[in-house]
Chain A
Amino acid sequence: MTLRWATHYAGLVLVCAGSLITIANAQQSPGPTTVVQLTGLAGVKDNAKGTLSVENGNLHFAHGKTGSDVSTTSIEDVVTGGDSQETVGKTIGTLSMAAPYGSGRVLSLFRTKIDTLTIRYRDSEGGLHGAIFTMPVGKADVIKKELVANGAHSTAAEPSAASTSASPSSQEERKQ
């Protein structure tokens, strides 16, 4: 009986340790992040899906075979935020509105949280640009830290541990 409990306990510890290692690895090696570029990057269409990474002092957005680079030193401000989007796609969401007795609206209740990353940067002529990206939760802060480490500026103060734990829910409440 004791052996059985010990086996169960060991298994549980192994599962917990495995998941912790996975989370730690994910935080250590950010790599390219799948994002949606809402607007702002020169030469990239609005709402373009692609990957975002910080490499060689540039914020690199890859979309299909094309790419767009913004020098991190030209970035004047980086701001992260939170938002939410429909769990089902836009097309299904719109089609579901036609369901009888408004039953399709139930789908609208299911939303997933997303992060937003907003940057302000200058082009070679000094013109001010802005770009907005959305990405899975937890990715925006990682990219922001990388950008700041590579010379980007940020006017927003780093949130403290207490405010970090409080902010996502408050932001979500604010933005839904």
Chain B
Amino acid sequence: MKRILTSAIRMGMVALVFAACPLFARPGEPTKIRARAIQVEMIQSDEVSMPAEFQISLYENLIHQLEKQGFQHVYREGDRNAASSTDLVVLHSTVRRFKQGSERARQVTTVAGATSITVHCQFSSPDGATILERDVNGKVRFFGGNLKATYDFAKKAARVAHENISTPEHE
């Protein structure tokens, strides 16, 4: 009788543990997209006029920052090797807003002359299906040249990728 009671208590405890498991899960945490490689397309600025050096700086900084996020490969636009890659995500970026400030005004007044850029980032699968869309901005308010805003954007965009994409390094 005592053995039956002990077994019943044990079984009840095991059942309680299993029943409580879903309570430990974090419901707010979004499911991450799994990707081993990312291909970065050239930043488009058809709607907004932007100097060529800003466009190139956005692209190059974005690639450098994504390379730090643990992707096995970060492919550039047009790279033929991307076609054979598995678990590939393609990043399309379009400039939505651009305000070129003045480094001189920033240094003299501290409060004026900020440069700001807003870029719409669209992560999609190779067949074109959109996986994630975000507006990311980059700013330079105090120190540094106007191009520093592109570095700020790249860091934030890479953070978005890090938060939403599961790379082999983080698995």
- Same complex origin of A and B: yes
Q: Which positions in A face B, CB cutoff 8 Å?
A: 38-40, 77, 79, 81, 84-85, 93-94, 97, 105, 108-109, 111, 116, 118, 120, 122-123, 125-132, 174-176
With A109-B108, A175-B146, A176-B102: A126-B56 Cβ-Cβ less than 8 Å: no
Question: Is the beta-carbon distance between B108 and A127 smaller than 8 angstroms?
Answer: no
A176 touches B103 (CB 8 A): yes
- Pairwise interchain contact B52-A131, C-beta atoms closer than 8 A: no
Q: Do A94 and B81 contact each other (CB < 8 Å), given the known contacts A105-B108, A108-B107?
A: no
For A132, what are the chain B residues with a Cβ–Cβ distance below 8 Å? Answer: 53, 56-57, 147
Contact: B102 with A94, CB < 8 Å?
no
Known: A108-B104, A109-B108, A118-B52. A38 touches B78 (CB 8 A): no
Q: How many A-B residue pairs have CB under 8 A?
A: 73
A-B contacts, 18 listed (Cβ < 8 Å): A39-B60, A40-B56, A84-B103, A97-B107, A109-B104, A118-B53, A118-B56, A120-B56, A127-B76, A127-B78, A127-B79, A128-B42, A128-B59, A130-B56, A130-B59, A175-B51, A175-B146, A176-B102
**Given the complex of chains A and B, what is the CA–CA distance between A40 and B75 in angstroms?**
15
Interface membership of B122, Cβ < 8 A: no
Complex Cα distance, B142 from A34, in Å, reads 29
B101 to chain A, nearest CB (A): 9
**B147 contacts across to A, CB distance below 8 A:** 38, 132
Given A84-B103, A127-B76, A176-B104, 4 additional A-B pairs, CB 8 A: A97-B107, A109-B108, A131-B56, A132-B56
Give Cα distance in the complex from A94 to B81, angstroms.
Answer: 44
Q: Which B residues lie at the A interface, using CB under 8 A?
A: 42, 51-53, 55-57, 59-61, 75-81, 100, 102-105, 107-108, 143, 145-147
- Would B61 and A111 count as touching, CB distance under 8 A? no
B95 to chain A, nearest CB (A): 15
Bound complex: CA of A39 vs CA of B77, how far in Å? 17
B120 to chain A, nearest CB (A): 20
User: B107 and A126: CB pair below 8 A?
Assistant: no
Question: 5 shortest A-B CB distances, which residue pairs?
Answer: A130-B56, A127-B76, A108-B107, A79-B52, A127-B79
